[in-house]
């Protein structure tokens, strides 16, 4: 069962579609290596969707240094950033968006973007590339 919880006390059972209208496509469940949680330094890793038969690629990113982050870059597909620890400032085209743990930010296809750790402390993100492989052009 999937629940739509608007608060810790209010959960509603969801039924967004009729399961009889969707047929399995024959793929098996799969797993792949994203990152080594015991490795020192920035927590980084990637798992190409094509490795596990998925239409999305997942990156794990983290750093402990305020002001640090990936360089300005662009993708030919959307990227969704999920902040799950710390605070980040995203630069997406002409927009500046601050996000904290529990928030997600969209970087639309073809729009240059980057982000930095606002501190204090560690920034951890999961970055979802809407492509079965990571395709990127660095601009800075």
Per-residue model confidence (pLDDT) at position 46: 93
Query: Which tokens belong to 13?
Result: 């059972």
Per-residue model confidence (pLDDT) at position 58: 97
Question: How much is the average pLDDT of 38-59?
Answer: 90
Question: How much is the average pLDDT of 14-30?
Answer: 86
Secondary structure of the chain as H, E, C letters: CCEEEEECCEEEECCCCCHHHCCCCCCCCCCCCCCCCCCCCCCCEEECHHHHCCCCEEEEEEECCCCCCCCCEECCCCEEEEEEECEEEEEECCEEEEEECCCEEEECCCCCEEEEECCCCCEEEEEEECCCCCCCEECC
User: Does residue 105 lie within any of the structural domains?
Assistant: yes
* Per-residue pLDDT band at 124 (split at 50, 70, 90): very high
User: Does residue 86 lie within any of the structural domains?
Assistant: yes
Per-residue model confidence (pLDDT) at position 54: 94
CATH number of the domain to which 43 belongs: 2.60.120.10
**Above 70 in pLDDT, residue 115?**
yes
**Total of domains in the chain:** 1
Per-residue model confidence (pLDDT) at position 9: 57
* Per-residue pLDDT band at 10 (split at 50, 70, 90): low
Per-residue model confidence (pLDDT) at position 78: 98
Q: Domain range for residue 128? A: 33-138
Per-residue model confidence (pLDDT) at position 39: 81
User: Does residue 89 lie within any of the structural domains?
Assistant: yes
Question: How much is the average pLDDT of 68-97?
Answer: 97
User: Does residue 47 lie within any of the structural domains?
Assistant: yes
- For the whole model, what pTM was predicted? 0.84
User: Does residue 55 lie within any of the structural domains?
Assistant: yes
User: Does residue 120 lie within any of the structural domains?
Assistant: yes
User: Does residue 24 lie within any of the structural domains?
Assistant: no
More confident: 37 or 124: 124
User: Does residue 12 lie within any of the structural domains?
Assistant: no
Q: Which residues contact 28 (CB under 8 A, 6 or more apart)?
A: 53
């Amino acid at each position: 069962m999937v629940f739509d919880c608007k608060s810790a006390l209010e959960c509603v059972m969801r039924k967004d579609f009729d399961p009889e209208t969707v047929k399995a496509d024959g793929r098996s469940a799969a797993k792949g290596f994203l990152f080594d949680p015991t490795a020192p330094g920035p927590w980084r890793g990637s798992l190409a969707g094509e490795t596990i038969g998925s239409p999305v690629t997942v990156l794990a990113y983290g750093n402990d240094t305020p002001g640090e982050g990936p360089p300005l870059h662009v993708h030919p597909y959307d990227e969704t950033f999920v902040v799950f620890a710390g605070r980040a400032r995203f630069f997406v085209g002409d927009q500046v968006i601050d996000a904290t743990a529990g928030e997600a930010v969209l970087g639309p296809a073809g729009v240059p973007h980057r982000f930095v750790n606002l501190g204090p402390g560690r920034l951890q993100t999961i970055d979802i590339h809407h492509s079965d492989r990571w395709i990127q052009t660095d601009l800075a």
